[in-house]
């Protein structure tokens, strides 16, 4: 017959083993949770890009708009642009195309693109884009986001367009240091024009340094300064066009326009 001390020893031995199992299980759960969080909370906002043989690929990602543009800096040649709305689902970017200058058949289609930030900090989007380096440190900038042109000013009075969201849409996508504007028709799927480059906002001045422009190559290389102010949430954009002539435009945050003009 076993002594009481023996049973006490067995009891505490089993208790220690159970504690070790629980600690190990908790550790595994914690590591798994951390891994999932690191994948789902990837900070991709801002501008990304790469240059190969004088061809620059520029990617701008705002809160829910994704845009890509490719152009040759030396030859002043525009190659293509595409983009639209996106959302992140774990390790995939679910992209809904709104414009595509090379293939309008892609418009209104959706695609799941694997997304990852490599150990070297470069962004990879499946087999579509890779080797993208962050260009603006992820800093937002005063005008960060996506904007839709919604009206014009005359004698300091704004006149809003009846529907700036359908069917033609002109949008400006801005990161901390870069910008792109694009114009397209969401019904016919037609791409009209685009332009972009670097930008700064300082002391009430918004300055664009144009790196590509589809309307005319004469605008490429120009640096244009505009007055800017935020009035009731809208961006007043004042100055001279790159092609000549004054402009005094009203731009509204894309999300506000979309909520107002999209049928529920």
Percent of the residues in the chain that have a pLDDT greater than 70, as a whole number: 84
Is the pTM value of this prediction over 0.75? yes
Can you tell me whether residue 217 is helix, strand or coil? helix
pLDDT, tens digit (0-9, with 9 covering 90-100), for 199-233? 999 999 999 999 999 999 999 999 999 999 999 99
The predicted pLDDT at position 16 comes to: 58
If you average pLDDT over every residue of the chain, what do you get? 88
Higher pLDDT, 186 or 4: 186
The predicted pLDDT at position 40 comes to: 45
The predicted pLDDT at position 55 comes to: 97
CATH architecture of 46-134: Beta Barrel (2.40)
Task: Return the domain boundaries, the chain.
Answer: 1-41, 46-134, 145-261
Length of the chain measured in residues: 264
The predicted pLDDT at position 183 comes to: 99
The predicted pLDDT at position 6 comes to: 45
Residue 28 clears pLDDT 50, i.e. is over it: no
Model confidence at 42, pLDDT cuts 50, 70, 90, reads confident
Tokens linked to 240: 């001279």
CATH superfamily of the 145-261 domain = Calycin beta-barrel core domain (2.40.128.20)
Tokens linked to 44: 């991709």
**Sequential DSSP letters for 26-70:** HHHHHHHHHHHHHHHT----EEEEEEETTEEEEEEE-SSEEEEEE
Give me the mean pLDDT over the 1-29 stretch. Answer: 48
């Amino acid at each position: 017959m076993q002594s009481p001390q023996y049973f006490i020893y067995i009891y505490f031995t089993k208790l220690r083993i159970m504690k070790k199992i629980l600690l190990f299980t908790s550790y595994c759960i914690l590591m798994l949770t951390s891994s999932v969080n690191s994948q789902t909370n990837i900070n991709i906002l801002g501008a990304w890009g790469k240059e190969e043989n004088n061809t620059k690929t520029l990617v701008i990602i705002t809160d829910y708009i994704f845009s890509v543009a490719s152009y040759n800096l030396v030859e002043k040649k525009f190659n293509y642009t595409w983009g639209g709305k996106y959302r992140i689902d774990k390790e995939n970017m679910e992209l809904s195309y709104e414009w595509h200058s090379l293939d309008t058949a892609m418009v209104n289609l959706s695609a799941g693109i694997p997304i990852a930030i490599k150990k070297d900090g470069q962004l990879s989007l499946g087999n579509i884009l890779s080797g993208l380096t962050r260009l603006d440190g992820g800093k937002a900038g005063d005008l960060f986001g996506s904007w839709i042109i919604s009206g014009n000013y005359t004698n300091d009075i704004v006149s809003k367009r009846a529907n700036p969201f359908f069917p033609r849409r002109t949008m400006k996508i801005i990161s901390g240091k870069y910008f792109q504007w694009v114009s397209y028709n969401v019904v016919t799927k037609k791409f009209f024009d685009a332009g972009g480059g670097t930008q700064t906002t300082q002391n009430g001045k918004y300055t664009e340094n144009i790196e590509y422009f589809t309307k005319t190559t004469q605008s490429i290389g120009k640096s244009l300064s505009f007055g800017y102010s935020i009035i009731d949430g809208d961006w007043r954009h004042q100055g001279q066009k790159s092609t000549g002539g004054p402009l005094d435009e009203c731009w509204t945050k894309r999300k506000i326009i979309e909520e107002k003009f999209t049928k529920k």
